[in-house]
Chains A and B, each alone.
Chain A
Amino acid sequence: MSEMKTAAYICQGCGISDRLNTKQMVQIAQKEGKMQIVREHAFLCNAEGVQMIRDDIEKEAVTHIMIAACSRRAKTEAFNFPTVSMARANIREGVLWSQPEIEAAVEVTQDMADDYVRMGCAEVKKMKLPEGTPNKAQNKRILVVGGGVSGLTAALESAEAGYEVLVVEKQGELGGWARQLWKRVPSKSPYTDPVDTGISELIAKVTQHSRIKVYLNSTIAQTDGAPGRFQVQIATESGATTTEEVGAIVQASGFTSYDINKLPELGGGKIQNVVDQAGLERMLVAAGGQGGALRRPSDGGEIKSVAFIQCAGQRDESGKHLPYCSGHCCNTSIKQAMYFKDANPGIDTVVMYTDLRTPGMGEDFYRSAQNKGVTFTKGKASEVVTSGNSCDIKFKDLILNEDSSIQADLVVLATGQIPNSGVNIELAEAAQGETKPISILNLTYRQGKDLPQLKHGLTDSHFICFPYETRRTGIYAAGPVRRPMDIAQAMEDATGAAMKAIQAVENASLGRAAHPRSGDLSFPIVRLEGCTQCKRCTVECPFGAIDEDEKRYPVFNESRCRRCGTCMGACPVRVISFENYSPDSVGSQIKAVDMPDEFSEKPRILVLACENDAYPAIDMAGMQRNVYSAFVRIIPVRCLGSVNTVWITDALNGGWDGVMMMGCKHGEDYQCHFVKGSELANYRMSKIDDTLKQLGLETERVASFEVAITDIARVPQLINDYVAKIQEIGMSPMKGFA
């Protein structure tokens, strides 16, 4: 690598030179920042200013630049120099716009700008241009676990994009639940009649595709490795195991239908003429689809009336059954009622529901059923009993608000979907439930064998904007294992998951991070000779990216890593760092500020702000000209999880008067995109009180805050209140000892 050559650029535009002494900032960059080239410019982001920087990079071989201008969130197109390391001192939003334009504020505003220049110079010198991991993994094959509609779609869509695919199906045939259906709900105009499932064509396309290989009667015995280099052991029924290498995984392990035997009050498992929706489909397939030809299971008698009971064992508040709604069942019952009506309009069909849920164009399908004479009753069934050869359904009529009953020859229970998620890795082995779940992926990760579950066993993403934000890089859940859904939605979902799997292998092959730090080439580097094998990094990694070797040293799997820095924050001996973000790159900023003495009445508060939410909120406060105390110095961090306590102790030892940590909401509805970053930081800080006491400092000198990106007005208030509190406590006694 070429030798480091540094340059600093101070912008005078947007009123910076009207209110700040930029000459002084230039001198600071030269003398204290020790930057080799320092230039001022009236308008740094215009073509001429950018060209000036570019010329320095090309002609002067500059490798490290510090730009003191606007926020790092602004002018990103202009200040785009991918071949050099860059630090940006936020003089505009962070100083000029957040400080009042009054005579009394001139001095402290200048202090602030000067410090940000010092910090920017210190930071950039500790940065290296990330070169990407040398361990680039090149396998681009996609493994699809599950051969139902979701799995087959994921396989076909990946193969059509040019990727090799393996499908592993535990049964002896492809097709899953869809193969057992007579027809499906329409997903295109006109939304009037049940349509063919299309499953035979889908199976044919998959089995005939030159890029798809199918394993039947097979399960995953072990998954080892990382995106771009997963080693997967496939166990076949015969007991033989084959090892295959793949680059990414789509888990389309589907659902299990809720056990009808758990609903004896509705006749489930007790009355022959009570079936579930899947049972009715099987009867129809056996009868060749003639709804009118179906006979009563109990005695082979004619079926003259059919009742569908919605939400059977679903939306249950008692805790006995499924708490959620499975989404598809209203449309499915409408479809099944049509089976009878289309064959013989004389058959009575009643759908009993509490809320009929046919979103989107499903409304047309609902209308079509009404036109065909299907009856809809708003009611809640409490009991189904045998009455001669037919059934008696006791229910509460929710319109008339009275108890009522109807008779039906056949009762169909709309039961729900239970995701086949494998092992709940957050529960202890003993707590897994009556029937111990069988792992789907058998991951060798220390965090557990399967994908983490969100809620109700669903392996969904926690984020509304990012439905495929997985907690195991390169492994994406698709279909009803992720969320209850119908065929149309499962096919969309599987296509999206295939997209993410393809992206994962492309990223891994280039050594790039996946979402949310997409494209990041930096990766954790560990200085093993200093490692004490404490295992905090391996335990705390939210993505299961770190294994342990036989000597209990951490083994980083870079392509699993999302570059959040939680490991760096966890490390008590600070041996983990990124090329452009390290204990040193932040620590040197903390040490670079000019620390006023005890009698100056100028406290210094360090703010470590999450770059996803808190930092943009502070930035936008500046854009709004919301004033906050000039005594803070703000450093954006990748995640509060990456905050190493050494920064806090260094700051306090160095005479800083207080430290504010601003991170995302934690707890059940957490907002941290690195899962537990803010929670971990909170936990670590709760342990810092002892250190503070040892230093003879008040515990208030370190405080954590949950900040949302919308806290544009609140953040200045938080800062001002905290500064006031610190002023009340008094200046740190540590000043002058550093």
Chain B
Amino acid sequence: MATPIATSQTILVVGGGISGMTAALEAAECGKQVILVEKSPTLGGRTALMYRYFPKLCHPICGLEINLRRLKGNRNVRVLTLAEVSKISGTRGNYAVTLNVAPRYINENCTACGECAKAVTKEIPNPYNYGLNQMKVAYLPHKMAYPLRYVLDPSAIGTADADAARAACKYDAIDLNMQREAVELTVGAVIWATGWKPYDAAKIQPYGYDRYPNVITSLEFERMADLHGPTGGKLLRPSDGKEAKNIAFIQCAGSRDENHLRHCSRICCMASLKQTQYVREAYGADGKSTIYYIDIRAIDRFEDFYLKVQNDPTVSFVKSKVARIAQDGNSGDLTLHGVDTEGYHRYANVHDLVVLAIGMEPAVKGVDIPAEIIADSSGFLESAPGGSIFGAGCASGPLDVNRSVQHATAAALRAIQVVNKSASTEAS
């Protein structure tokens, strides 16, 4: 791989989700040189795995298409996928960065014709569907993947599948000798947009995510609702593949809880309100959604959407933190136990499927990040004054898409201030 040219005038953006793409594009459309690195094989991040957005119920890949078109038409951004930052040193305006780039085993010759995927046999859990189905070891992450190029999973290397893939490729695109490599860069400013990850649902013991197949996370539900997801848009129970029509949504799964995540993850109330409408979309008046909540946080004009869902007769609300879930061994049905705090009465409600509105954890948590970026008590970034490493989007706090983009746009300006200043100093 050729090392991209970078100088103290270059802005490095770490993370190719919607925040990172936004920060990179906003800066590049101002004429700045940007290097965008993403650790997975494709840009798009978590929003590419969402079915619809609240409150418009529009499709996230519509915006992704526009952002990708902006990117394809802009020569100021260079994209490196399968790349992670392993080291940063330096001060404001001048950082030495080491990237660790993993092999894709498929080079630029790839036309995305798909012959390699036909040739291989081994399957692995599909991370783009949160493991709800399997994919081949030679794969295109998803239809909106960028770069539009297949990937050979490292587990295929040294197996017959690797040779079969290479033999199937007519374009000399498969290179089994690719190695992990280190790339050194000099940059003027860094935008840290590494996003979020769902809280480990298994840690919330009373909800039995690790024991009961019909307890799933809101992210898994998102894939299930997607017409192009693992179930073709059908809301099917993992235990028996039956349609789930009576679905419970449990709010604050991990969030607002000192034993788990201290913070409120902000998006989950709106996400569950939105997901009740997937149930409606699937079954009309025959579906049933119940939201168990502490406070419904439909902030600012999202209140309109909350009101709309409240008026939907298929949706009911129970103000309660669910105490525990029990599974009926034979049917796979789940009984939710708790106390409805409005009126203080106990309940034991049976549902087909339970969706945990899972909390948001910064993806940087547990990763060795430069000391210049301070983290708050939940691990979200707070940029230190005087430095030029800036957090953007969910790396810096639990934000919805709209606020992440707003935040990333601001981060782009902060980075531009740094490179413009060093440009004017160098000029004078």
Nearest residue (CB) in A for B57 is A669
Residues on A with C-beta less than 8 A from B26 are 499-500, 503
Whether A364 sits at the interface, judged by CB under 8 Å, is yes
Say yes or no: B343 contacts A401, CB within 8 Å. Answer: yes
Min Cβ gap A458→B in Å is 6
Extra A-B contacts (13), CB below 8 Å, given A400-B344, A466-B66:
A360-B397, A464-B401, A465-B66, A465-B401, A467-B406, A485-B300, A502-B413, A503-B30, A519-B74, A708-B62, A709-B65, A710-B226, A712-B227
Known: A76-B72, A360-B264. A70 touches B111 (CB 8 A): yes
Whether, in the assembled complex, B307 has its beta carbon less than 8 Å from a beta carbon of chain A, the answer is yes
Q: Does A536 contact B (CB under 8 A)?
A: no
Q: Please report B residues at the A interface, Cβ cutoff 8 Å.
A: 18, 25-26, 29-31, 47, 53, 56-67, 69-70, 72-75, 108-109, 111-113, 143-144, 147-148, 170-171, 226-228, 255-256, 262-264, 266, 295-304, 307, 341-344, 374, 376-378, 380, 382, 397-399, 401-403, 405-407, 409-410, 412-414, 416-417, 420-421, 424
Select one of B377, B402, B409 contacting A189, CB under 8 A. B377
Residue of B nearest to A356 (CB): B295
* A154 CB → nearest B CB, Å: 10
Q: Provide the residues of chain B in CB contact with A224, threshold 8 Å.
A: none
Known: A162-B420, A399-B341. A483 touches B296 (CB 8 A): no
The yes or no answer to A114 lying at the interface (CB within 8 A) is: no
A residues 564-609 touching B (CB-CB < 8 Å): none
Give 1 or 0 for each of A388-411: 1 = CB within 8 Å of chain B CB: 000000000011110000000000
Q: Give chain B residues whose Cβ lies under 8 Å from the Cβ of A43.
A: 109, 111, 170-171
Chain A positions within 8 Å of B344 at CB level: 399-400
Q: Please, how many angstroms separate the alpha-carbon atoms of A439 and B125 in the complex?
A: 58
Indicate if the CB atoms of B413 and A189 lie closer than 8 Å.
Answer: no
What is the CA–CA distance of A43 and B108 in the complex, to the nearest angstrom?
Answer: 13
Cβ–Cβ < 8 Å partners of B62 in chain A:
465, 612-613, 671, 708-709
Contacts of A41 in B (CB 8 A): none
Option from B109, B255, B399, B406 in Cβ contact (under 8 Å) with A496: B406
Residue of B nearest to A455 (CB): B301
Which of chain B's residues have a CB closer than 8 A to the CB of A495? 409-410, 413-414
A-B contact pairs, 13 of them (CB 8 A): A13-B171, A74-B112, A190-B377, A358-B264, A361-B380, A455-B304, A465-B18, A489-B403, A492-B407, A495-B413, A496-B413, A671-B58, A708-B62
Q: Top 4 nearest A-B pairs by Cβ distance?
A: A465-B63, A495-B410, A496-B409, A499-B413
Task: Specify the chain A residue showing the minimal Cβ separation from B408.
Answer: A496
Contact across chains for A355 and B296 when beta carbons are under 8 A apart: yes
Cβ of A19 under 8 Å from chain B:
no
Q: Is A516's beta carbon under 8 Å from chain B?
A: yes
Complex CA distance for A465 and B170, rounded to whole angstroms: 39
Contact flag A361-B378 (CB < 8 Å), given A161-B420, A465-B66, A518-B70: yes
Assess A492 versus B410: contact at CB under 8 Å? Given A499-B416, A612-B65, A669-B56: yes
A621 nearest CB neighbor, chain B only: B143
Point out the residues of chain A lying under 8 angstroms from B301, CB to CB: 324, 455-456, 458, 460, 483-484
Q: Is residue A81 contacting chain B, with contact meaning CB distance below 8 A?
A: no
In the complex, what residue of chain B is closest to A483 when comparing beta carbons? B300
Complex CA gap A673/B382 in Å reads 34
A464 touches B171 (CB 8 A): no
A326 to B298, CA, bound (A): 10
CB distance from B313 to the nearest CB of A (A): 17
B416 touches A502 (CB 8 A): yes
From residue A639, how far is it (CB to closest CB) to chain B in Å? 12
Chain B positions within 8 Å of A401 at CB level? 342-343
Q: List chain A residues, Cβ under 8 A from B406.
A: 467-468, 492-493, 496
In the complex, what residues of B have CB within 8 A of residue A378's CB?
341
Q: Produce 1/0 per residue, A602-642, CB < 8 A to B.
A: 00000000001100100010011000000000000000000
**Nearest CB to that of A322 among chain B residues?**
B303
Residue of A nearest to B54 (CB): A464
B264 and A519: CB pair below 8 A? no
Q: Tell me the smallest distance from the CB of B159 to a CB of chain A, in Å.
A: 26
In the assembly, what is the distance between CA of A355 and CA of B256, in Å?
A: 14
- Are A710 and B376 neighbours in the complex by a CB distance under 8 Å? no
B113 partner residues in chain A, CB cutoff 8 A: 13-15
Establish whether residues A161 and B416, one from each chain, have CB atoms under 8 Å apart when the complex forms: yes
What 0/1 readout, one digit per residue, does chain A (176-197) give for beta carbons within 8 Å of chain B?
0000000000001110000000
- Over the window 439-463 of chain A, the binary record of Cβ atoms lying under 8 Å from chain B Cβ atoms (1 yes, 0 no) is 0000000000000000110101001
B410 vs chain A, min Cβ distance (A):
4
B71 nearest in chain A by CB position? A76
Q: Which residues of B contact A323 (CB under 8 A)?
A: 303-304, 307
